[in-house]
Amino acid sequence: MVGGAPAPKGEGGPVSQIHCHFCGGIIQDVATIEYRPPRASAQFAVPQPTPCTCSPPVVYEHPPMLGGPEEDQTPDGEAA
Ligand SMILES: [Zn+2]
């Protein structure tokens, strides 16, 4: 068995902070983010080094997880 040094992978490296678009604070729990479709009239708060206190935090972006066929469809599946 080849056992190398346990590399701490997963939560290491430069973690990109996500700023709340409502208050500009840093979102602590990304699982509570409420994603909203970006709109031209959306007001983006200036990013701040302080933690976000919104509940839930609002981010005007599309959810990272795909699951809504109502939005843009990815021409990925080549149906035979
Ligand atoms: Zn906030």
User: What pLDDT is attached to residue 64?
Assistant: 75
pTM of the model: 0.60
User: What pLDDT is attached to residue 12?
Assistant: 59
User: What pLDDT is attached to residue 52?
Assistant: 97
What is the Å distance from ligand 1's center to 41 Cα?
Answer: 18
Domain boundaries, the chain: 16-39+47-62
Please provide residue 59's backbone torsions phi and psi, each rounded to the nearest 5 degrees.
-130, 125
Spatial separation of the C-alpha atoms in residues 16 and 39, rounded to whole Å? 23
What is the Å distance from ligand 1's center to 23 Cα?
Answer: 4
64: alpha, beta or left, given left = phi > 0 and alpha = psi -120 to 50? alpha
Q: What is the pLDDT of residues 24-75, one digit of tens each?
A: 999 999 999 999 988 888 889 999 999 999 999 999 988 876 655 555 555 6
What is the Å distance from ligand 1's center to 48 Cα?
Answer: 10
Spatial separation of the C-alpha atoms in residues 10 and 8, rounded to whole Å? 7
User: What pLDDT is attached to residue 79?
Assistant: 59
User: What pLDDT is attached to residue 80?
Assistant: 60
